[in-house]
Chain A
Amino acid sequence: QQKVQQSPESLIVPEGGMASLNCTSSDRNVDYFWWYRQHSGKSPKMLMSIFSNGEKEEGRFTVHLNKASLHTSLHIRDSQPSDSALYLCAASPPSSFSKLVFGQGTSLSVVP
C-alpha cells in the first residue's frame, strides 16, 4: 500500500484549461510536501514545496496544503502543452527532510 496516494492516475486537459492534481499521505508522521515534475525521458525536477497550512503561488502554479487531513493539491492554470508530464508528490517527516516518500504520480496531458 502506497503511503502517498495521488489522484487521478492520469488527466487530460485542454490547452488554456485548469489542471488539478491531488495527493494524500496515509502516514500521519509527515509534515512537509514537495511536488516534482518529470517530462518524458527526463529526470524529475522540483516544482514547488509547501511546509505550512494554506496556499503558495508561483506563476501559473498554486499549491494548497491541509495538514489536518495530510492533503495537498497542485493547480495549474492556463495549462500549456509543455506542462504535459508526470507529476510526483512527495512527503517527509519533520525529523528527516531528506527522506522523501513519493506517490505513484499523475500523468498530465495538455492537448491543443
Chain B
Amino acid sequence: EAAVTQSPRNKVTVTGGNVTLSCRQTNSHNYMYWYRQDTGHGLRLIHYSYGAGNLQIGDVPDGYKATRTTQEDFFLLLELASPSQTSLYFCASSGTGGDSYEQYFGPGTRLTVL
C-alpha cells in the first residue's frame, strides 16, 4: 500500500506566524497534492505538483505557497498565518494512468491559528 507521511501532526501558531507543513511519499508517484478539509466543504485543493520543481495552482491557493524539492517531498508554507487557515490539512500522492490516478492520502496535520 502506498505510504504518505506528514509532519507535524498537530501545530498551533499565532496570527502572523510562519508555518511549514511537510509531506513525504515513498511510492515513486509523480503527483503530489495539498488539500484542506473543513466541515461542509469536503476537500479543497490548495496546490499540486507533477514533479520536482513543478507547482500547479489549485482551487484555494490564496495565502499559501508550496514547494516540491524532490520526487518524494512536498512542502506547504503559510508565511503570515491567519485564523481562517485553521483547518485539517491532507497531503496526497498519485501516479499516472488508469487506476494509478487513485490518490493516497497522508494522516493529516491539524493546524490551529490563534
Q: Which residues of A contact B (CB under 8 A)?
A: 2, 4, 6, 34, 42-46, 49, 88, 90, 97-105
Contacts and interface: CB of A to CB of B under 8 A. Distances in A.
Contacts of A45: 105
B52 to A, nearest CB: 16
B78 to A, nearest CB: 20
Contacts of B99: 49
Contact of B108 (A43, A46, A99, A105): A43
Interface residues of B, number: 25
Contacts of B105: 43-45
Given A43-B107, A45-B105, A46-B103, A99 B43 contact: no
B50 A98 contact: yes
Residue of A2, A46, A49 ringed by the most chain B CB atoms within 10 A: A46
Contacts of B48: 98-99
Residue of A2, A45, A100 ringed by the most chain B CB atoms within 10 A: A100
A30 to B, nearest CB: 14
B71 interface: no
28 contacts: A2-B41, A4-B42, A6-B42, A43-B105, A45-B105, A49-B99, A49-B101, A49-B102, A97-B96, A97-B101, A98-B31, A98-B33, A98-B50, A98-B96, A99-B48, A99-B56, A99-B58, A100-B43, A100-B45, A100-B103, A101-B45, A101-B59, A102-B35, A102-B42, A102-B44, A104-B41, A104-B42, A105-B42
Contact of B42 (A34, A43, A49, A88): A88
Given A100-B45, A101-B59, A46 B102 contact: yes
